[in-house]
């Protein structure tokens, strides 16, 4: 078994926990055996963690402590820092970012492509996971979706929005909202106990109440005061 080439506590004041040490050891073992860094999912499996989100949490802790470095949102860029370069988070010289993952450029260059995390269909009642921990990403034109911050892709459930061209099994590109939506915005929402995650409705306010409006005569408007709004739909993707 490959051992971490430094005793705990040498990188600043941070003392490694047994789980953090196992994560570091697995990254080193994987890189030595495969010639590349592991993904968050592979770290979770190899270090005995419950999920990729747990791996993301430990990597964040280790990066803040100066033991590892990685490019946020780019799979297979995590690396254990050499002994002489550790401790940047604790006041030492800054560490240069690791190599970027190789990606195919867009039609006119990679600067015009946004890599958007694909959340998939999340079970009802579960939150959207941290976007940085999601490894499955899809390239989209920046002109279509704008800046990458806060974007994710979600699978549509149900046929309540066929009147605006959103059909079952479509994928919608959603941007997280930090303010209240505007009237007429298409929003991705969670309706607790009513529908699965991924449902899309039109946001309306009337007489100080929020209504989620379907665009299919088979469905009625839904009170939205207690709905969880995940974001605004900015594009629709469909496989033909």
pLDDT attached to residue 163: 92
| Residues 161-208 pLDDT 10s | 899 998 888 888 998 887 888 999 999 887 665 554 457 899 999 988
Is residue 147 located within the same domain as residue 218? yes
Is residue 86 located within the same domain as residue 51? yes
Is residue 116 located within the same domain as residue 76? no
Greatest Cα pair distance in the chain: 66
pLDDT attached to residue 215: 92
95 φ/ψ angles, rounded to the nearest 5 degrees: -95, 135
Is residue 85 located within the same domain as residue 152? no
Is residue 78 located within the same domain as residue 162? no
Is residue 157 located within the same domain as residue 223? yes
Find the domain containing 45 and state its range.
18-90
Is residue 119 located within the same domain as residue 224? yes
pTM above 0.75, yes or no: no
Q: How far is CA 231 from CA 99, 110, 169, 181, in A?
A: 32, 26, 19, 8
| Residues 141-160 pLDDT 10s | 888 887 778 888 888 877 88
pLDDT attached to residue 84: 58
Total domains in the chain come to: 2
pLDDT attached to residue 180: 83
| Residues 16-30 pLDDT 10s | 888 888 999 999 898
- Which positions are catalytic? 160, 201
| Residues 211-239 pLDDT 10s | 999 999 988 888 888 888 888 999 998 87
Is residue 132 located within the same domain as residue 205? yes
Give the dihedral sign, CA 213/214/220/226.
negative
Does the residue 140 lie in any domain? Answer: yes
Is residue 194 located within the same domain as residue 85? no
Q: How many residues does the chain have?
A: 240
Contacts 24+ apart (CB under 8 A), 121-125: 121/154, 121/155, 121/157, 121/196, 121/197, 121/198, 122/154, 122/197, 122/198, 123/196, 123/197, 124/190, 124/192, 124/193, 124/195, 124/196, 124/197, 125/190, 125/192
pLDDT attached to residue 100: 41
pLDDT attached to residue 204: 94
């Amino acid at each position: 078994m490959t051992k971490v080439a430094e005793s705990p506590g040498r990188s600043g004041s941070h003392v490694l926990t047994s789980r953090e040490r196992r994560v570091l050891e697995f990254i080193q073992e994987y890189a030595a055996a495969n010639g590349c860094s592991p993904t968050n999912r592979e770290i979770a499996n190899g270090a005995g963690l419950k999920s990729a989100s747990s791996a993301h949490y430990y990597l964040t802790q280790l990066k803040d402590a100066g033991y590892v470095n990685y490019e946020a949102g780019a799979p297979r860029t995590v690396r254990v820092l050499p002994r002489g370069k550790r401790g940047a988070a604790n006041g030492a010289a800054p560490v240069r970012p690791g190599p970027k993952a190789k990606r195919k450029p867009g039609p006119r260059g990679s600067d015009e492509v946004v890599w958007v995390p694909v959340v998939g269909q999340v079970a009802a009642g579960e939150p959207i996971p941290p976007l940085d921990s999601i490894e499955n990403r899809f390239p989209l034109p920046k002109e279509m979706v704008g800046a990458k911050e806060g974007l994710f892709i979600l699978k549509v459930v149900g046929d309540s929005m066929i009147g605006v061209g959103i059909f079952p099994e479509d994928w919608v590109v959603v941007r997280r909202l930090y303010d209240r939506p505007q009237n007429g915005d298409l929003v991705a929402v969670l309706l607790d106990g009513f529908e699965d995650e991924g449902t899309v409705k039109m946001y309306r306010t009337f007489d100080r109440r929020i209504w989620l409006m379907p665009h299919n005569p088979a469905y009625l408007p839904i009170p939205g005061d207690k709905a969880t709004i995940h974001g605004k739909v900015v594009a629709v993707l469909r496989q033909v």
